[in-house]
Amino acid sequence: MARSSDAEFIEFVIGSHQRLVQLAYLLCGDWHRAEDAVQSAFVRMYAAWPRIRSRAAVDLYARKAVLSTVRDDARRPWRRERVSARLPEQVSQDRSGRVDERLLLVSALRMLPTRQRTAVVLRYLADLSIGDTAEVMGCSPGTVKSQTARAITALRKSFTDVGLNLQDPDATNLPTPEGTRPWH
């Protein structure tokens, strides 16, 4: 049966809104833009809703719509992204002097080229398989693998530059800068 009822659509919107906003946030780095992008994606989805026939297809379509909306938004002249060689300076330290890994990650993601960022976010936040990631991105699985690998390498370098090891599970025991008194 065609997925055409508003009740189903509303149920889907409510159930998926949070994770899609989170996905959009890591893609664009801004909560406001993320919420706007997801809302626009839902509007697109509503128009296509009668033609989307399975739950799996709905999820994939939703991610595609979000990705597409974020990408379109970033292409607008006043929001055009510029890749920088340096991390933004606002990567913060808490009172113990520790670098906030979460902000570092978000900042580092923003420095990645769009396709690398998309690949790594879909793979590691959305938990998509390589095949599904390729489907959402509209590329081959091989491209997903290569883009993901490059993204990981770049992220790892960003972390290494501030003395963190992205692969190390103990990286949460961060080295504190000299002169800073740790809490414990």
Partner 1 sequence: MALIDQLMRDAVEDGRPLSGPNLGVILARGRARRRRARFAQAGAAALTGTAVVGAVTLGQSIGPDRGGPPQTVDVASPSATPAPSSSASPGFEAAVDELVARHLDPGHDHLSRFGGGRAGSDAYVVMTFDWFDGPKMGKSTWLDAANAWYQARQDGQSVEPLRNGKINLAWADADTELGSGDRNRATGADKDCAVPPRRVLSPPLNWESCTRESLPDGTTMLEARSNADGVQTIGVTRIFADGSKISVSVSTGGDLEEPSNDSTGIPLRELPATIDQLRAILLDPEMPATPPPFEPSAYEPSAS
Question: For partner 1, which stretch binds (CB under 8 A), given 62-70, 71-79, 84-92, 161-169?
Answer: 161-169
- E strands, 38-160, in order: none
- Facing residues of 93 across strands? 99
- Facing residues of 99 across strands? 93
Selected binder of partner 1 within 60, 87, 106, 162 (CB under 8 A): 106
Which C-beta is closer to partner 1: that of 134 or that of 148?
Answer: 148
Which C-beta is closer to partner 1: that of 43 or that of 56?
Answer: 43
Q: Per-residue string for binding with partner 1, 18-57, x by CB under 8 A?
A: x--xx--xx----x---x--xx--xxxxxxxxxx------
DSSP H or E segment with residue 124: helix 114-124
Question: For partner 1, which stretch binds (CB under 8 A), given 15-23, 75-83, 90-98, 128-136?
Answer: 15-23
Which C-beta is closer to partner 1: that of 50 or that of 138?
Answer: 50
Residue 96: which of 167, 153, 177 has the closest Cα? 177
**C-beta separation of 147 from 119 below 8 A:** yes
